[in-house]
């Protein structure tokens, strides 16, 4: 599966962005049953899973983004979204999507991320 994230950019603190991530594999059944997540990797830090959505559309979030970020998915488009509101400088990172395992680790190879930069 090839993953391609888009929608990042430079935004001022308090602003919003909507990220999209498309899975290119043509087999619909590969995407639909998977739990999907958005990860981010700030400069000089480890990649972390910040938002999750199950195959049943149950969403959970890390405390750092709870109440500000919303994850959603469209199985027919093999796409997962991340609406990010009230952005903070500490949200600056490269954002990636992937399917996640029970331990939170990625299932597929990493695809292209999208850079989000929040200025103060």
Condensed to tens digits (0 to 9), the pLDDT of residues 26-80 reads: 545 677 788 999 999 999 999 999 999 999 999 999 999 999 999 999 988 989 9
Cα gap 36→59, rounded to integer Å: 10
Cα angle 61, 91, 71 (rounded to 5 degrees) comes to 35
For residues 1-26, average pLDDT: 92
Write the DSSP symbol of residue 21: E
Q: Where are the alpha helices (DSSP H) in the chain?
A: 28-31
Which is nearest to 86 in space by CA: 40, 44, 118, 49? 118
């Amino acid at each position: 599966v090839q993953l391609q994230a888009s929608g990042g950019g430079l935004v001022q603190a308090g602003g919003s962005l909507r990220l999209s991530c498309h899975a290119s594999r043509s087999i619909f059944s590969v995407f639909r049953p998977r739990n999907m997540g958005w990860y981010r990797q700030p400069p000089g830090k480890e990649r972390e899973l910040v938002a999750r959505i199950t195959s049943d559309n149950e969403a959970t979030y890390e405390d750092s983004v709870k109440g500000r970020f919303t994850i959603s998915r469209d199985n027919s488009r093999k796409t997962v979204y991340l609406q990010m509101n009230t952005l903070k400088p500490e949200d600056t990172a490269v954002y990636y999507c992937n399917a996640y395992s029970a331990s939170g680790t990625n299932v597929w190879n990493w695809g292209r991320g999208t850079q989000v930069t929040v200025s103060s």
